[in-house]
Amino acid sequence: MTDRLLVALAQSNPIVGDVAGNLAKARAARAEAARHGADVVLFSELFLAGYPPEDLVLKPAFQATCMAAVADLAVDTADGGPAVLIGTPWLAEGRLHNTHALLDGGAIRHLRFKVDLPNYGPFDEKRVFVPGDLSGPMPVRGVRIGVPICEDVWKPDVVECLAETGAEILLVPNGSPFRRAVLDERFSVAVARVKESGLPLVYLNQVCGQDELVFDGASFVLDANANLVVQLPAFREALGLVEFRKVAGRWVPSPGEKALVEEGTAADYAACVLGLRDYVNKNRFPGVVLGLSGGIDSAIVAAMAVDALGADRVHAVMLPYRWTSSDSLEDAADCARRLGIRYDVVPISDPVEGFLGALAPMFAGKTPDITEENLQSRTRGTILMAISNKFGPMVVTTGNKSEMSVGYATLYGDMNGGFNPIKDLYKTEVYAASRWRNANRPDGALGPMGEVIPDRIITKAPTAELREGQTDQDSLPPYDVLDGILTRLVEREMAVAEIVAEGFDEPTVRRIERLLYIAEYKRRQAAPGVKIGHRNFGRDRRYPITNGFRDPGVKPDLPAAPLPVKPQTDVVDF
């Protein structure tokens, strides 16, 4: 009977759909684990497929490719090296399961099917998988190992069954995406399962960007008393090792690495950088191009791009018009210099005037309005896309969540682009991230030390510069007020009456609610971007475009009286 088990934790970065590449990563991690003398190496949820595979996993050819990769990897284990616990889709009796397979001694020894399939927020596993039945532990090198898969530990039933059927250690593979405060939630859940079962627990998470989701890693180990004994880093790959020894009939993990995990604004920034890096690299773009306006949003995106990809893969373009101030020209050039990136100036006067001239007969007698402002933005978008087409870099767009919430953005203009790293950051959070980056250089960042965003960009009044003397606050409330209302409407789904009761002006709240609803059609056409908060636009918050509801102002805890129907007078701004 064994009294020692060395477990390797492969906190790795898979690519959805790249089964051959993920198999190669698994083999490399297993080889490294073997050099350390590991008995078993644990991989994250659906590692061979990549997570989340969405409807790709319904394709029979993809299912067959994943299952063949499991069989190939099983053959490798005949070499006497570590056993493997790896995630894969698995088709059994015509039913597709989210599965973890135990490979050892040259064969597939056991299959563990996920029981609790999440179907909320960014998850829709019930769409593609069939839940497994409650089952007991797997024997791994003489130790009874329970393998609850991700959501299986968020409720007590699966772990309770494993404990009652003789599990000695819990190894939990995860595909748990980053959002604010999620680390505390994971710890709370894991501690609850440890205290209920009396078993030590290993929590392994993948680390990668996958479209709008970022997976932060931050894997950890708890002993049977729920003490943290190992903490792997967040936002980067690692191979962790945890040694278990049997002491007085119980398995005890030895203390190991305790990495410092980013929190708050540092975590937000790291998530944006990882999401952008993986989106660009996994989709094989040579680099990125962006409009650098001299404003805060494009400056922070430029900094994130350099930190993610390196200065040589970032191209900034200033696109001035008659309303562009000398301060903006100076600040954009200064920011580009500090970041060390290529910087070009392409004036847009000629194409804008060409559009206006072509439209002059049709617009005769009409007063200039937002139409002429949007022509400037669309001209800039067209030029950036032309640069992308000619030279290959992806256009990154730079709109923040405050702007996208209320439609303060132009379709086919400043919304043009393939990805937006700050899509889920409100304007006040963009300012916080900019100040933080000027004071810190993140681990693994490819950008320079020091103040990369000129202070004047952070302190001056934000403006789109589409007309003389324009500032954002001409059209919007101050951003601290706007963001306070939006977080209550979007993240917390609060009623207008509740928001007003917290001290906000009712006409302002109602105006912001109206703008939020009528901008839905724009958000459906926006580029994907990193999910940071509890409810991002896209995977979390799916509202109808055609939507006649407006909050009648009745407190939710009171019975609502019928209200007369009033005609809607919303004006849609393209």
Q: Which of 471, 451, 203 is nearest to 331 (CA)?
A: 451
The answer to whether residues 78 and 106 touch, using CB atoms and an 8 Å cutoff, is yes
Sign of torsion over alpha carbons 522, 528, 532, 534? positive
Collapsing DSSP states into helix, strand and coil, what is residue 290? strand
Which residues have a Cβ under 8 Å from the Cβ of 561 and sit 6 or more positions away? 554
Instruction: Name the packing angle between helices 264-282 and 296-309 (round to 10°).
Output: 60
Q: How far apart are CA 245 and CA 31, in angstroms?
A: 23
**Alpha-carbon separation of residue 376 from 87, 206, 365 (angstroms):** 50, 43, 21
Which residues have a Cβ under 8 Å from the Cβ of 256 and sit 6 or more positions away? 221, 229, 230, 240, 241, 242, 243
Helix (H) or strand (E) run with residue 252 in it: strand 250-253
Kindly name the residue from 25, 66, 114, 282 that is annotated as catalytic: 114
How far is C-alpha 310 from the chain's CA centre?
Answer: 21
Residue 98 identity (one-letter amino acid): N
The answer to whether residues 359 and 352 touch, using CB atoms and an 8 Å cutoff, is no
How far is C-alpha 305 from the chain's CA centre?
Answer: 16
Residue with tokens 């944006």: 272
**Alpha-carbon separation of residue 423 from 33, 108, 192, 484 (angstroms):** 38, 43, 34, 17
Collapsing DSSP states into helix, strand and coil, what is residue 216? strand
The answer to whether residues 531 and 542 touch, using CB atoms and an 8 Å cutoff, is no
Q: In whole angstroms, how large is the CA radius of gyration of the chain?
A: 26
In the residue annotation, 114 being an active-site residue is answered as yes
Q: Is the peptide bond before 52 cis (omega within 30 degrees of 0)?
A: yes
The answer to whether residues 287 and 309 touch, using CB atoms and an 8 Å cutoff, is yes
In the residue annotation, 208 being an active-site residue is answered as no
Kindly name the residue from 45, 168, 212, 373 that is annotated as catalytic: 45
Q: Work out the number of other CB atoms within 10 angstroms of the CB of residue 198.
A: 11
**For residue 100, what are the β-bridge partners?**
87, 112
Kindly name the residue from 66, 150, 161, 272 that is annotated as catalytic: 150
Positions marked catalytic? 45, 114, 150
